[in-house]
Structure 1
Amino acid sequence: MGTERPLVQEAVQPHGERAAEAQHIRQKLNEIWILFRIQFAEIRESWIWIFFMASMFPFSTLLFLKFYTVNPTPEAMIRIIVGNMVFAVIVMGINALAQEISWQKHQGHFVYYASLPISKLNFVLAVFLRGFLTSFPSVVIIAAIGQLIYGIHFHYSFGLIPVFLLSMLACVGIGTMIGFVSPNHQFTNLLAQTLLMVISFLSPVMVTMEMLPKMLQWLSYLFPTTYVANAFRDLFIHGWTHAVTVNTAVLSGYVILSFLVIYRFVEWRVER
């Protein structure tokens, strides 16, 4: 009988550890769900303005290029539509998100989150999800309207799902990173507006790489939007190719890098 108790304890201990791990996972999932609901509540209060801001600028550019170009080729049409889809992501996923996070940070709103027993990792994930939700509708709308205006049809495949997700998250990651690490809100506003113009019109988003000067070509490789536009264009024209694989791998690197930088340098409070 004396040798049975240790055996029973050894059998019970792994079961208890598994139960504790399962409970820990449930708590973390519940935590991120609550944080996401908080972020979603902020979006819900101003969804009309978000929808208008996210769609109006790319839609105006789409119409302008429709009136300006004469008998564009199918490749040029797809380049214009994809460029405005990326423009929509830049407006909300980089520009607006960076300014919103920076404003909340420097107004001390994150002190509330700092007072809660929550994981920084889950908070960053919730912010990523918020950026994804604010960018997603305008991209879909521009894609649908662009096809109607130009009278073309994209080549759809299942590869569009991972490319779409990685494209959104890569751009959202850049916007989130700018908002969190910027020294002040004025700097964030200036940097976000500058990036909006440079990325949209001085990188191969709406034009080909060959049309840009050499200096801008090299600079374009630093922007995730270059790989987003290339991946979408190849998918819509040819389907999944080796070039799409390369662009997807680069976008994955941007997502991981931005997440690590945010997780490392995010500050809950601003020193007065």
Structure 2
Amino acid sequence: MNAFSQFFVELLILFRIQIAIVRHQLLWIIAMSSIFPIVTLVFLEFLLGESSSEQLARLIIGNMIFSILLMGMNILGQDISYQKFGGYFTYYSSLPIRKVNFILSLLFYGILTSLPSFIIVFTFGQQIYGVNLHFEWLLLPVALLAIFSVVGIGVLMGFLSPNPQFTNIVAQFLLMFVTFLTPVMIELKDLPIVLQWISYVLPTTYVANVLHGMLTVGWTNSTFIDVLILLIFSCFSYLLISKKIHWRVQ
């Protein structure tokens, strides 16, 4: 078997391991990933009352992003932190597998755990608010890229954290800050100037732009620019993760 074939065989095995883990935890993942975003959707409906279709669409999309943040950043970051300090990754580093495949399998796990919540909020949000969001097949790769960029933050946070308790505190703070003080639930122009500048360096701002554009209008030139920015964020987070993981293949 040549090196090229071995690379994909390793990746396939690691992906199958992650799929098996997700299948074992599927009920918990669905419950955890759907309860908080749907409760938030219902609460906001009671709070806001009559709103324009544009505002309702933004709230649905904001809760889709909230569900991604909850699973792909918050819970994933804490999970990786506990595994790191529990010595789980020492086992993987002792195996004859490539570091790149191990990192890709972690990112794949984050996508698998985030995708159900994304779909659930997309479906129930339209039912709750009576809004029809635009759908085209190009949304699928764009949504995967959006999830991937957020998952990269979760994986990076888990490896950079000095201990699991610190991860828990940082994850909770980031979840609340990004959800309510960046243009996820509201528009960028409605934020104070300081928060606007902070928003420009957060990938969730561009995730919100991409999803809002795709689900209300469709593919545009501005969407293409936001996709490129998300690609840069994703590559940058992968490089940081790769540098942080100490690896030795026997």
Which bracket does the TM-score occupy, shorter chain normalised? over 0.9
CA contact (8 A) 1:101 1:176 kept: yes
Normalised TM-score (structure 1): 0.88
Residue deviations 1:37-76 (CA, integer Å, cap 9, x gap): 2222222222211111111110110111111112211110
> How big is the shift at 1:268?
5.7
Q: Deviations over 1:170-212 (max 9, x none)?
A: 0001111111122211221111111000011111100111221
CA distance, structure 2, for counterparts of residue 163 and residue 115 of structure 1 = 35
For the residues of structure 2 that align with 1:153 and 1:41, how far apart are their CA atoms? 35
Does the alignment pair 1:173 with 2:152? yes
Residue 99 of structure 1 aligns with which residue? 78
Larger radius of gyration between Structure 1 and Structure 2:
1
Q: Which residues in structure 2 correspond to 1:15-34 (within 5 Å)?
A: 23-34=2-13
Measure, in 2, the Cα distance between the counterparts of 1:174 and 1:84: 18
| Structure 2 counterpart of 1:150, one-letter code | Y
User: Is 1:123–2:102 an aligned residue pair?
Assistant: yes
Unmatched runs of 5 consecutive residues or more in structure 2: none
Q: Which amino acid aligns with 1:196?
A: L
Provide the rounded CA distance (Å) in 2 between the counterparts of 1:183 and 1:267: 15
Q: Which residue pairs with 1:224 in the alignment? A: 203
**What is the total number of aligned residue pairs between the two structures?**
248
Contact residue 181 and residue 266 of structure 1 kept, 8 A = no
Distance 1:31 1:63 in 2: 44
Aligned to 1:214: 193
Alpha carbons of structure 1 residues 268 and 53: separation in structure 2 relative to 1, 3 Å: farther
Counterpart CA distance in 2 for 1:267 and 1:186 is 22
Give the whole-Å Cα distance in 2 for the aligned partners of 1:51 and 1:266.
30
| Alignment of 1:143 onto 2:122 | yes
Question: Which region of structure 1 is more displaced relative to structure 2, 191-200 or 235-244?
Answer: 235-244
Alignment partner of 1:62 out of 36, 41, 45: 41
Partners of 1:145 and 1:180 in 2: CA distance: 34
Q: How much does 1:25 deviate? A: 1.7
* Contact 2:41–2:63 (Cα < 8 Å) also in 1: yes
Give the deviation of 1:267 after TM superposition: 3.3
Q: Which runs of 4+ in 1 moved over 4 A?
A: none
Q: Which runs of 5+ in 1 are unaligned?
A: 1-19
Question: Which letter maps to 1:139?
Answer: F
SS of the counterpart of 1:125? helix
Secondary structure at the aligned position of 2:158 is classed as helix
> Does 40-49 or 76-85 show the bigger shift?
40-49
Cα distance in 1 for residues equivalent to 2:23 and 2:90: 22
Task: Specify the alignment match of 1:83 in structure 2.
Answer: 62
Cα distance, 1:158 vs structure 2: 3.1
Shift of 1:167: 0.1
Match status 1:194 vs 2:173: yes
* SS, match of residue 172 in structure 1: helix
Q: Check whether the contact 2:99–2:247 (CA below 8 A) recurs between aligned residues.
A: no
The percent identity for this pair of structures is 46
| Backbone CA RMSD of aligned residues | 1.4
Letter in 2 for 1:180: F
1:73 maps to 2:52: yes
For residues 241-260 of structure 1, what are the structure 2 equivalents within 5 Å? 241-260=220-239
Whether the 8 Å contact between 1:99 and 1:179 is mirrored in structure 2 is yes
Report how far residue 233 of structure 1 moved.
1.0
Q: Which moved more, 1:132-141 or 1:44-53?
A: 44-53
Q: Distance in 1 between matches of 2:76 and 2:247?
A: 17
Determine if the alignment matches structure 1 residue 48 to structure 2 residue 48. no
